[in-house]
Structure 1
């Protein structure tokens, strides 16, 4: 078990039920931001930086140095604030190299040229599977955890792991797998790999949706608790049974409210579309593409 213990500060966006983290090496004060949120009002198509500014204040108040702005996946429920945070704090915007799979799939949906992403890369860095990196003196590495999306990546930093949407709290279960190139079978395999990690490893989640059995939001659990009591995928659940449950459950779910604006921004590292001749940026919405 890695004995390095990063300092983890969580920030909760109650509009999207998203946790953002600032993960810090206590010795050097080098830090990483994981899964940031840009406020977005869908009715007016207006962005603001209320959530991101809270992170910025924390970074300045504690004299932190941002090395990484990490994404666990291309989020469908909120816009990332990565571009704004990099401008204010520095750091490299990074995620899985498998982002190209997501870019290709959604470029077809939005009628975009996916080659533009290859010719003009928008992420500062793309991690390979199982790649090691540093945050100050902290040892960190990536674990591919596809299933929710093909580009899902978990980050192990010292004694902590940040799993994005792969798992929720044990009393809420697992992420949906019905997005393009999602796979319940892959999600099962990804979780089994996570379950090989030390049971005391701290696990930090991207979302909590507050089941009726409790009255407060929680962002942290551990490997042991998930293995023992995750309602969808605790130890002993057969792969075929999990797939059957997950696919049946996904068939009842509505699309996330912000998926169409969020994906086209997030798969481009948080960049807004290029302004048109009037200086205004515009989002695209594929009318009647998704039948609900």
Structure 2
């Protein structure tokens, strides 16, 4: 391992198709955990920690020190386990500073409590575009990649880039842009920003929804994407992409976990405040989305 080629371990959650990445410089080093998952049963409303405990087991087995618990955006398809991981392992919870825009939109949609803050202060660090920070001996750079949401960021750490939902594996394409604040034009430009990096740059996906015939996979190169991404490979224009993405998004159902996920994730993974009976409740806005 060198500062330019960090180790990356992925933990795949087959229920939500999410990959949590642990990036580090080797045994005994500092690390960051990117895009964690809190298990949630929508039928019972019960949360568990099976997936997060797999992450914890790896961190402890490798004697890693967690410095950061990073989010690429406020996910709409799974709940974040960031607070649980912080209690178990330490680290600071961070996201891009445009999360404030997302908080404002969804505060109104969910009519959240007056005390809910829209300044991003639920997170311990808000990153600006191109901001550089350290993970022990590793240097990390923040890249704004809006489009799927206005708050999406990617993290470039050596030759590894954690792209969030901006890109999927080449045979799956790109993320939808029809959520509040989404923008297909912005997503195309964000994808091309990533694809302008050196061809051998490793790209780590936040999700994989494998087509029949292959198992889950979540790493490829810029060259792989430029040659084969079904939505944004070289030669596809912005106008062609936007027309395709808009038409495709109109056919997609809402993610199963969007309503619980967004309410939790704009709070940095914390559940809503408990009511006077000690129980937290999630809201389901009727006929609003």
Give your verdict on TM over 0.5. Answer: yes
Looking at structure 1, the residues matched to 126 and 258 of structure 2 have their Cα atoms a distance apart, in angstroms, of: 23
Looking at structure 2, the residues matched to 33 and 205 of structure 1 have their Cα atoms a distance apart, in angstroms, of: 14
- 1:211 to partner: Cα distance: 1.2
Task: Give the unaligned 5+ runs of structure 2.
Answer: none
Is the 8 Å Cα contact of residues 107 and 114 (structure 1) preserved in structure 2? no
1:245-284 counterparts in 2 under 5 A?
245-284=244-283
Aligned counterpart, 1:161: 161
Please say if 1:229 is aligned against 2:228: yes
Is the 8 Å Cα contact of residues 28 and 136 (structure 1) preserved in structure 2? no
1:106-117 counterparts in 2 under 5 A?
106-112=106-112, 116-117=116-117
Alpha-carbon RMSD across the aligned residues, in angstroms, is 1.4
Task: Give the unaligned 5+ runs of structure 1.
Answer: none
Is the 8 Å Cα contact of residues 27 and 137 (structure 1) preserved in structure 2? no
- 1:188 to partner: Cα distance: 0.5
Is the 8 Å Cα contact of residues 103 and 114 (structure 1) preserved in structure 2? no
- 1:281 to partner: Cα distance: 0.8
- 1:114 to partner: Cα distance: 7.4
Aligned counterpart, 2:215: 216
Looking at structure 2, the residues matched to 54 and 94 of structure 1 have their Cα atoms a distance apart, in angstroms, of: 21
1:10-25 counterparts in 2 under 5 A?
10-25=10-25
Q: How many residues align?
A: 288
Q: Does the C-alpha gap of structure 1 residues 119 and 254 become closer, same or farther in structure 2, counting only changes over 3 Å? A: closer
- 1:5 to partner: Cα distance: 1.2
Deviations 1:75-102 (A, max 9, x none): 1110000000000000000000000010
Structure 1 length as normaliser, TM-score?
0.96
Aligned counterpart, 1:4: 4
Deviations 1:111-149 (A, max 9, x none): 125773246811010000110011111111011000000
Aligned counterpart, 1:128: 128
Is the 8 Å Cα contact of residues 33 and 66 (structure 2) preserved in structure 1? yes
- 1:26 to partner: Cα distance: 2.4
Looking at structure 1, the residues matched to 272 and 113 of structure 2 have their Cα atoms a distance apart, in angstroms, of: 13
